[in-house]
Structure formats: C-alpha cells, structure tokens
Amino acid sequence: MGLSGGVACYKSAELCRLLIKAGASVQVVMTQAAEQFMTPVTMQALSQRPVYGSQWDRRASNNMAHINLTREADACLIAPASADLMAKLAQGQADDLLSLMCLARPADRVPLLLAPAMNREMWQHPATQRNVAQVQADGAGVLGVGHGDQACGETGDGRMLEPLELLDELIAFFQPKVLTGQHVLVTAGPTYEAIDPVRGITNLSSGKMGFAVARAAREAGATVTLVAGPVSLPTPRGVNRINVKSALDMLAAVTAHEPQTTVFIATSAVADWRPAQASASKIKKDGSGQPPELQFVENPDILAMLAQSERGESRALYCVGFAAESHDLTANAQAKRQRKGVPLLVGNIGPDTFGQDDNALLLVDEAGTRELSRDSKLSLARKLIAEIANRIGTGESS
C-alpha cells in the first residue's frame, strides 16, 4: 500500500485498518510528501509492519527494498495517488522508493491499482488526463475519483474514493471475471402498491440479497443494471441503479432494459396484487368500525413474461427466479419453477432471511435440487453467479 502526498492520506489510515480486518497483510510505503500529512508511526501501528520511505533504507539485507517489497506482494494499491505520482509513472520516472517499486514490480503477477486524489482543476487538467490514459495503457488500474467537497474549499471531481469503496474495489479485482461481456439485469427489494397517498401494500423484503447479487455480478465482470424497489441500501459500486416503487414501475424498467440483457435475475418480492384504484386522497374512517371495501387486481408476472417471451425461450436470455416461501420450500419452489418457465429457481424461507445479512438457498432446476448452506448473502451471491456462469458456458470448469 503506497501513500503519495495529499490530504487524502487521512483516509489511508482507515483503509489500512479495513484491509487488515479483512485478512490482508499490508506493507506500507510512503513518499516524503505523504509524511507531511500522515506519520509513519500511525501507519506502522495500523499495519503492524515497519513503514518504508526511502530507496536507501538499509533494513533490506541487499539494500533493494524496491525489489524485495514487490516480490512479496499480490497487488500494489496506491492510495492516494497524486497528480505528481501519476505523471512519474506515465513517464517511467523513478526517483523515490514508491515510484521505483511501481516500476520494478513483476507486472505480470503484481497488479498496480491507483486511487487518485487531487483538486478538481488538477484532475480535469489535460496533462493529468493524458497521464491517466497512459498509465492505464501501461496496465495500471485507475479506480476513479469521487465527487464532493474538497479540502481547498472547492467542490467537484477529484476526491479519493472512500476507504470502504476502495476495499470493495480491491476485493472485486480479485474475483474471477466469469461474466465478462454479459449484461445482467437484477430486480431487488419489495414493491409498494398504493391504497391512498399514505397507505399501501408491501412486504418485508429488505433487498439485501438482490443488492448482493448485483454486486457479485459486477465483480464477475458483467455490466449490471439494478432495478430496486423502495429500500434504503447503498448502491453497489459500478452498478447502474434504477429506483421504482410499484410492480408496474418495475415492469416498465425491466422491459426498457430487456433488449440488451443476457442474464435476468429476479430477486425482488413483487406484490401479487394491487388495489384496482388508488384513492387520490387519504381514506378516512367513517365511524362504522368497518374498513373500506377494496377491490384488487393481479399484478403482472414480470419473471414469467420475460422467461416465456421469444427471447427467453430461445435461451438468448437466461432467466433466474427467486422464491420466498414460508413452508414446504422444495415442493413450492419446484412448482414455481415450472410455472414460471425458468431454467433455474432459487428458493429460501422468507421469514428466516428478511432483513438479515445471511441466508440459505435451495437451487432448483429440471434435474432436482441442491442446497447452499447458510452463509453471508454476499458469499451466497458469488456462489450463485459462479453457478449461472457455468450454466451459460462462461464460467470456469468445476
């Protein structure tokens, strides 16, 4: 983990802590400019390793820290990566330990990932953009920048991504890219069917499983669109999110994105019915003690419509359904798979998983069933994505 000069070094301390917590071994290398913003003592305490800062450091037995450190690494993550550092890398300059280390790393097995951080004008400057393009052409991964308030008092692009975002990017980098070239459409969360302006029909789906599936698909290299019902979860990085409310809203969004979709994963808990006519104003109690009489109509079956369309039947569109049941999971999931006409249906017991961070899944296809034991929803999502990739012929052999 390299730190070059910039006030964003304060984020690097938290990033180091998160990496250690996630199980990584972190070796910190700092430039002299970085030490103006963060002390090596702090980074050593967090990483539990001596911090290197000079190419002349005699602690290396052969006096070649720039060689030794990179040979031990699985990746070099520079956060923050200043405009000056990227200019050096673009030109192959190596006048300090960090730039030497980037140049001397075995590029075929030690990827270089850069998290830029600078003022918005510096980021937008043509020279910086040329340097970014050059380091990418040379094989480095540039993780992009955030938008917002900057230490100088200005607002715009150029902020270093937040520590959790960078951790997610690093984890995603190492996931197998089994869905590269695929366009994945995911629905997640509940729908809300209005009775009047303040009341409606919904369910307990939190959307966590669907959001995990969207993240796992993006990690696997897919272009991902997430159609989300009314939930307050953060959007997985790199995922295009479309917020909807009702089942009809969800159908419209799914239909609009269906033509470019190759894999459709319907994790959402769509309301089966909606009021035939929502009241334009709040329905008041009339003193009779009786609720108002409501008429209902059935909502469209989004998954069945796509699965049984001409595209779905031709297998150009691979459809995966989810079933949240309260009992008799195997029988109900098998019946639902046949009714929906999908090659793969994923079942779970809804009351055991709604709002939780873990789950247990049952994979149902024409050959039978297979259980995925209880695990975090993200771990299960990655297993599901690998399963889908194998079924459509893009995954690694099992």
Task: State whether 25 and 88 are in the same domain.
Answer: yes
Q: 150, 173, 196: which is the final residue of a domain?
A: 173
Exactly one of 16, 76, 102, 152 is catalytic; which is it?
152
Residue 214 lies in a domain: yes
Q: In tens digits, what is the pLDDT along the chain, a chain of 398 residues?
A: 999 999 999 999 999 999 999 999 999 999 999 999 999 999 999 999 999 998 888 787 777 878 888 888 999 999 999 999 999 999 999 999 999 999 999 999 999 999 999 999 999 999 999 999 999 999 999 999 999 999 999 999 999 999 999 999 999 999 999 999 999 999 999 999 999 999 999 999 999 999 999 999 999 999 999 999 999 999 999 999 999 999 999 999 999 999 999 999 999 999 999 999 999 999 998 888 888 889 999 999 999 999 988 665 555 799 999 988 778 888 888 898 989 999 999 988 777 778 888 888 999 999 988 999 999 999 999 999 999 999 998 876 43
Provide the number of structural domains found in the chain: 2
Task: State whether 77 and 205 are in the same domain.
Answer: no
**C-alpha torsion sign, points 273, 189, 222, 320:** negative
HSE-up (13 A, CA, CB side) for residue 349: 12
Residue 215 lies in a domain: yes
Residue 140 lies in a domain: yes
Task: State whether 112 and 243 are in the same domain.
Answer: no
Task: State whether 189 and 139 are in the same domain.
Answer: no
Residue 9 annotated among the catalytic residues of the structure = no
Residue 98 Cα distances to 2, 4, 33, 37, 102, angstroms: 7, 8, 11, 16, 6
Task: State whether 125 and 167 are in the same domain.
Answer: yes
Task: State whether 17 and 93 are in the same domain.
Answer: yes
pTM higher than 0.75, yes or no? yes
Residue 281 lies in a domain: no
Residue 280 lies in a domain: no
Task: State whether 352 and 225 are in the same domain.
Answer: yes
CATH of residue 72's domain is 3.40.50.1950
Task: State whether 307 and 386 are in the same domain.
Answer: yes
DSSP state of 107: T
Give residue 220's domain range.
Answer: 183-271+294-392
Q: 173, 200, 222: which is the final residue of a domain?
A: 173
Residue 283 lies in a domain: no
